[in-house]
Amino acid sequence: MKKNIPSEQHQQKNQSQHQYQMGIIGNCSFNALVDQHANIKWLCWPRFDSSFIFGSLLDEKKGGEYSISPADETYTSKQSYIVNTNVLVTRFESEEGVFEVTDFAPRFLLNERIHRPLMLFRKVRKISGSPRAIVKCRAVGSYGEMEADVQLGSHHIRYMNLEAPVRLTTNASLTYIQQQRPFAIAEDLYFVLSWGIPLEGPLLTTFEDFLTRTIKYWQTWVERCTLPQLFQKEVIRSALTLKLHQFEDTGAIIASCSTSLPEIPGEHRNWDYRFCWLRDTYYTLHALNSLGHFEEMEKYAHFIENLNIESLTALQPVYCIDGTANMTERELPLGGYLNNQPVRVGNEAATQIQHDAYGQILLALFNLHTDVRLVERRRLSEQSLESLLGYIEKTIDTPDNGVWEFQGKTSVHSYSLLFHWAGSAACRKIAKHIKNEDLAKRADICIAKTIALLEKCYDAERGVYTQAIGSKDLDASLLQMITLGYFHGQKKNKAVSHLRAIQKDLEITPGFLLRYRHPDKFGEQKSAFLVCSFWYIEALASLDFIDEATALFEKVLKTQNALGLMSEDFDVDSSSQWGNFPQTYSHVGLINCAFALDKASRKPAFL
Kindly report, residue by residue over 164-175, the tens digit of the pLDDT: 999 999 999 999
Does residue 536 sit within a domain? Answer: yes
Kindly report, residue by residue over 393-405, the tens digit of the pLDDT: 999 999 999 999 9
Between helix 414-433 and helix 382-395 the angle, nearest 10°, is 150
How many Å apart are CA 356 and CA 255, to the nearest integer? 17
- DSSP, residue by residue, 225-265: ----SSSHHHHHHHHHHHHHTEETTTTEE-SBS-B---SST
Domain's final residue, options 222, 243, 269: 222
Q: Which DSSP helix (H) or strand (E) runs through 509?
A: strand 507-509
Rounded mean pLDDT of 127-141?
Answer: 98
Does residue 606 sit within a domain? Answer: no
Nearest one of 211, 46, 54 to 121, comparing CA atoms: 211
Q: Reduce the secondary structure of 270-306 to three states and give it as a string.
A: CCECCCEEHHHHHHHHHHHHHCCCCHHHHHHHHHHHC
- Over 90: is that where the pLDDT of 373 sits? no
Does residue 2 sit within a domain? Answer: no
Nearest one of 562, 30, 530, 78 to 263, comparing CA atoms: 530
Average pLDDT, the chain: 95
Burial of 517 from C-beta contacts in 10 A (0-12 / 13-18 / 19+): middle
- The torsion angles phi and psi of 430, rounded to 5 degrees, stand at -60, -45
Whether 380 and 410 map to the same domain: the answer is yes
Q: What is the CATH number of the domain that holds 536?
A: 1.50.10.10
How many Å apart are CA 191 and CA 205, to the nearest integer? 13
Whether 229 and 216 map to the same domain: the answer is no
Tell me what pLDDT residue 1 has.
Answer: 43
Q: What is the CATH number of the domain that holds 111?
A: 2.70.98
Q: What is the largest CA-CA distance in the chain?
A: 78
How many Å apart are CA 401 and CA 355, to the nearest integer? 9
Whether 255 and 400 map to the same domain: the answer is yes
Does residue 121 sit within a domain? Answer: yes
Nearest one of 601, 596, 360, 329 to 477, comparing CA atoms: 360
Domain's final residue, options 222, 244, 278: 222
SS3 label, residue 396: coil
Does residue 238 sit within a domain? Answer: yes
In sequence order, the β-bridge partners of residue 26 are: 31
Whether 431 and 388 map to the same domain: the answer is yes
Whether 420 and 458 map to the same domain: the answer is yes
Does residue 3 sit within a domain? Answer: no
Q: Which domain holds residue 106?
A: 8-222
Does residue 607 sit within a domain? Answer: no
Whether 257 and 137 map to the same domain: the answer is no
Burial of 472 from C-beta contacts in 10 A (0-12 / 13-18 / 19+): exposed
Kindly report, residue by residue over 467-502, the tens digit of the pLDDT: 999 999 999 999 999 999 999 999 999 999 999 999
What DSSP character marks residue 193? E
How many Å apart are CA 249 and CA 300, to the nearest integer? 10
Does residue 83 sit within a domain? Answer: yes
Torsion, Cα of 517, 518, 520, 526 (10° steps): 30
- The torsion angles phi and psi of 488, rounded to 5 degrees, stand at -60, 130
Whether 122 and 241 map to the same domain: the answer is no
SS3 label, residue 19: coil
- The torsion angles phi and psi of 130, rounded to 5 degrees, stand at -130, 65
Number of domains observed in the structure of the chain: 2
Tell me what pLDDT residue 408 has.
Answer: 87
Tell me what pLDDT residue 529 has.
Answer: 97
Whether 593 and 570 map to the same domain: the answer is yes
Whether 206 and 331 map to the same domain: the answer is no
- In the chain, DSSP finds a helix count (H) and a strand count (E) of 16, 32
Rounded mean pLDDT of 528-557?
Answer: 98
- Yes or no: say if 46 and 176 are a contact pair by the CB < 8 Å rule: no
- What is the number of residues in the chain? 607
* Pairing of β 276-277 and β 318-319: antiparallel
Greater confidence, 14 or 254? 254
- Residues 486, 488, 490, CA angle at the centre, nearest 5°? 105
Encoded amino acid at 452, one letter: A
Residue 4 pLDDT grade (very low, low, confident, very high; cuts 50, 70, 90) = very low
Tell me what pLDDT residue 269 has.
Answer: 94
Whether 595 and 451 map to the same domain: the answer is yes
Domain's final residue, options 207, 222, 237: 222
Residue 466 pLDDT grade (very low, low, confident, very high; cuts 50, 70, 90) = very high
Burial of 113 from C-beta contacts in 10 A (0-12 / 13-18 / 19+): exposed
Neighbours of 452 (CB within 10 A): 12
Whether 409 and 457 map to the same domain: the answer is yes
How many Å apart are CA 562 and CA 560, to the nearest integer? 7
CA distances to 48, 211, 249 from 51, rounded to whole Å, are: 9, 27, 19
Tell me what pLDDT residue 607 has.
Answer: 66
Helical spans, DSSP H, in 143-197: 174-179
Encoded amino acid at 12, one letter: Q
Long-range contacts from 461-464, C-beta under 8 angstroms, 24+ separation: 462/501, 463/494, 463/497, 463/498, 463/501, 464/497, 464/498, 464/501, 464/502
pTM value is 0.95
Whether 432 and 560 map to the same domain: the answer is yes
- DSSP, residue by residue, 547-570: HHHHHHHHHHGGGS-TTS---SEE
